[in-house]
Amino acid sequence: MSTTLPDGALEQIEREQQHFELAPHEFFHAWKRGVEIAGPQWFGEGSREGLNRASSIWDLRPNLPMIAEALDVLSRGERLFLAAMVSFYNAHDSAPLLKRCDFEGLADLGRLDLERRQVITDLVLNYHGW
């Protein structure tokens, strides 16, 4: 008994393997772009120098207590973008932040500008776990 794959299946598998081999690097690149946009004060050691020195996502972990404390004084877009980024780091701890931003579902990301949408898109596409 031989098994045949549908046309294009091997090519699809190869594309996916290539994608997921590069995903950690691409996720880190997108994360750094997000940190740059949101402001390095919310991540890692909280400085531009820390952002520039970062060599992994661990170097740019969100400062959850500081973000939670400051969330209400940020603009609507800043709040949503920060909370969405935090959700990649820790889904459980980001849920209350997203609720405070009136986030009810992915369509709410439509409130973000193109630059921030692109970061979130790239993070989703390349997410491989924290």
pLDDT value, residue 1 = 60
Q: Which residues contact 73 (CB under 8 A, 6 or more apart)?
A: none
Q: What is the mean pLDDT of residues 55-78?
A: 95
pLDDT of 27: 98
Is the per-residue pLDDT at 21 higher than 70? yes
Phi/psi of residue 43, each to 5°? -135, 150
pLDDT in tens, 108-120: 999 999 999 999 9
At residue 7, the pLDDT reads: 81
Say what the pLDDT of residue 4 is. 79
pLDDT band at 9 (very low <50, low <70, confident <90, very high): confident
pLDDT of residue 2: 61
